[in-house]
Structure 1
Amino acid sequence: MKLNLIMAGFVSACLLFATASPLQAQSRHKRELKKRVNLALNVTNKKKLPPRTYLNLGLLSNYDYLSGIGINALSSVTHFHSKGFQVAGLTNITGLNTAGFQLSGIANVTGGNAKGILLGGLMNISGRDMNGFAFSGIGNMSAKNNRGFIIGGLTNIHSGNSAGMMLSGIANVTRQTQSGLMIGGLMNASGDTLKGVQLASLTNIAGKANNGVQISALSNITVANRGMQMALCNYSAENKGVQIGFANLSGKGRKGLQFGLFNLSADSLVHQIGCVNISPRTHIQLLISSGNLNKANVAVRFKNKCTYTELGGGAYFFNLDHDLSASAFYRAGVYYPLCSRLEISADASYYHIETLDNKHKGYPARVYALQPRLNLEFRLSRKVGVFASGGYAWTRQYGHNHTFDHKGTFEAGIVLF
């Protein structure tokens, strides 16, 4: 349905362009216009070229130039310019430029520039620029630039630049630069550079660069981000600005900032704040360990310049008279090399624990644990190391302050890669 409406709009625009050219030629060469049906009362000054109509009242009208008021029950067709107040039950069609107020039940169609207030039941279409205020039930289209406040029930599509505010139920699309504010029910797209703000529920797209702000619930996409992106997932091929979201992805850049749970960048100088940060300087390692609380652990460590984070899981162990439980954990810490092969580190861990069969022994179905640690790590070779850790753990039920267990912890293991 959406595609059919857009195609219908493009076809209408093409017909406008085809109509506008011969009309302009008629104006230049003073050729006689074809006689068409005109069921209306007109007050016209025929001494001017083209003749000027100051008052037009009727069923359907077909005349040269409106410079005043035109009210028709069905349609109003103006071959040259329309300046003033024009109302039709179905359509208003102007061959060249429109300036003033237009109201129609279906569509306002202008071959050249449309300036003023356009209220169309379904569509407002301009063959060149659209300036001012435009409202339509389905959409607004212009073949060149848009400047003003544009509201479309479904879509707004402009082939040139956009400046001002666009609001639509589904999508706003600008082929070139967007300056101002875009609010789309689902998406906004700018083919060139964004210099304003895009707000959408699904996605925002800037084809060349984002120099403004992109905010959406799902994703933001651009080639070069020099402004701010805020969404569940943000992507830019080059990031020199700020990305805030659950996942931030970028290619090359120059000291951009990523703030989120998962940050991935091809820029070695990027600033990353999050749970998992990956850049060309990140050393990714595999850790296998065991201890008095965790009988078997497997974790992936993301090690950066002086900090690291870990994601892992394993078998959590309460006491000798309890069965094993399953755990998943996240750990963040800092480290300092004591010499070429030995380093010391400190970290804090959060464990989510599914107690499995232990829920029949007085434990809730799931609990959590907090664990600070001190660690020593020794590199046996470039690819293999060993470590030992000591700390303390507190295990509690979600939503309660009651402590089920607390004890000192010891853990040792190997580091691969």
Structure 2
Amino acid sequence: MRGVQIAGVSNISGDNTVGFSTAGLVNITGDGTQGVTIAGLTGIGGDNTSGVMISGFMNVTGNMASGVHLSGAANITGQSFNGMMTSGLLNVVGENMNGLQIAGIANITATKLNGLQIALCNYATKARGLQIGLVNYYREDMKGLQLGLVNANPGTRIQMMVYGGNATPANIGVRFKNQLFYTILGVGSMYQGLNDKFSISASYRAGLSLPVYKGLSISGDLGYQHIEACDNKDEVIPRRLYALQARANLEYQITKKFGIFATGGYGLTRFYNKSSNYDKGAIVEAGIVLF
């Protein structure tokens, strides 16, 4: 087919499609597609697809695809894709992805990513570029950067941290530690500077760790802490606060699965509803690392 196809329900082309094809429900093209295809529900391309594919639900291409794929739910390419894929839920490339993947839930590149992934969860076997999401994972090799709450690979150490200090006396956290970079997700209780009633907090920290000598290492991180005042709320203390914190840490690994650390830092506790500080001051903490 060369030219323009318009159908209320579906278009089906056996071999090659060059031009513009739009249908209310389904567009199906056989071997090669060059141009623009638009479907209300699903777009299906055969071996080689280049151009723009837009569908309300899903785009599926067989072997090689290039261009821009936009869908409401999912984009799936059997082998390699060059260009940009954007979907509301999921992008899947069976082999190599060269370009940009943006999805509401997950991006999956089965072999090698060269470019950028943005989603809640990102996966690539090998990656050269950038992953941005809540959870980022690569299986074999990464030449680039991961930006997320949890950045992981097969060599990531998942460790428990139990610690306390002058800001929050009782804390427990999980640290995802790679060769240099780490992130920490934690919860704490009895935040200081409120009344003496129960309070709870949740925190996120990201930082860099450097070995010094044998089991000794130094690290530094920046963190965000959300604080629920609970029954401490009164005319002065709001129901919720947040804190921005910077820490420097000295850690000694006594055994492979047990270590101790001491922390010094500084924090600003701020109101959510106005641009001012509730409190500020030094942070002093100490604790243990397990696993």
TM-score for the superposition, normalised by structure 2: 0.85
Where in structure 2 are the equivalents of 1:141-180 lying within 5 Å? 141-180=28-67
Aligned in 2, Cα 1:176/1:363: closer, same or farther, shift over 3 Å?
same
Q: Does residue 1:406 correspond to 2:280, yes or no?
A: yes
Aligned in 2, Cα 1:295/1:239: closer, same or farther, shift over 3 Å?
same
Where in structure 2 are the equivalents of 1:373-388 lying within 5 Å? 373-388=247-262
> Secondary structure of 1:332's partner?
strand
Q: Does residue 1:371 correspond to 2:258, yes or no?
A: no
Structure 2 unpaired stretches of 5+: none
Select 1:353's aligned residue among 197, 219, 227. Answer: 227
Aligned letter for 1:175? G
Select 1:265's aligned residue among 153, 167, 181. Answer: 153
Select 1:246's aligned residue among 126, 134, 145. Answer: 134
Aligned letter for 1:239? A
Where in structure 2 are the equivalents of 1:38-77 lying within 5 Å? none
Deviations 1:193-242, CA, capped at 9 Å, x for gaps: 21233232222222232233322333222212333333232222333443
Deviations 1:93-112, CA, capped at 9 Å, x for gaps: xxxxxxxxxxxxxxxxxxxx
Select 1:138's aligned residue among 25, 28, 52. Answer: 25
Distance 1:290 1:348 in 2: 17
Aligned letter for 1:255? K
* Larger-Rg structure: 1
CA contact (8 A) 1:351 1:368 kept: yes
> Secondary structure of 2:36's partner?
strand
Aligned in 2, Cα 1:330/1:260: closer, same or farther, shift over 3 Å?
closer
Q: Which residue of 2 aligns with 1:236?
A: 124
Distance 1:321 1:258 in 2: 40
Distance 1:412 1:257 in 2: 30
Shift of 1:146: 1.8
Aligned in 2, Cα 1:240/1:353: closer, same or farther, shift over 3 Å?
same
Structure 1 unpaired stretches of 5+: 1-113, 267-279
Shift of 1:368: 1.8
Shift of 1:321: 5.6
Aligned in 2, Cα 1:243/1:388: closer, same or farther, shift over 3 Å?
closer
Shift of 1:359: 0.8
Distance 1:335 1:181 in 2: 40
Shift of 1:414: 2.2
Shift of 1:326: 0.9
Aligned in 2, Cα 1:162/1:370: closer, same or farther, shift over 3 Å?
closer
Which aligned segments of 4 or more residues in structure 1 are displaced greater than 6 angstroms?
A: none
> Secondary structure of 2:133's partner?
strand
Shift of 1:175: 1.7
Distance 1:248 1:296 in 2: 29
Aligned in 2, Cα 1:251/1:401: closer, same or farther, shift over 3 Å?
same
Q: How many residues align?
A: 290
RMSD: 2.8
Where in structure 2 are the equivalents of 1:9-408 lying within 5 Å? 114-228=1-115, 229-253=117-141, 255-266=143-154, 280=155, 282-318=156-192, 322-360=196-234, 362-408=236-282
Aligned letter for 1:192? Q
Deviations 1:143-176, CA, capped at 9 Å, x for gaps: 3222222222322223332122222222222222
CA contact (8 A) 1:316 1:353 kept: no
> Secondary structure of 1:196's partner?
strand
Deviations 1:351-370, CA, capped at 9 Å, x for gaps: 21111121147311111223
CA contact (8 A) 1:225 1:241 kept: no
> Secondary structure of 1:386's partner?
strand
Distance 1:354 1:337 in 2: 36
Deviations 1:249-281, CA, capped at 9 Å, x for gaps: 222235254333322224xxxxxxxxxxxxx1x
Distance 1:393 1:191 in 2: 50
Distance 2:41 2:195 in 1: 64
CA contact (8 A) 2:149 2:204 kept: no
Give aligned-pair identity as a percent: 42
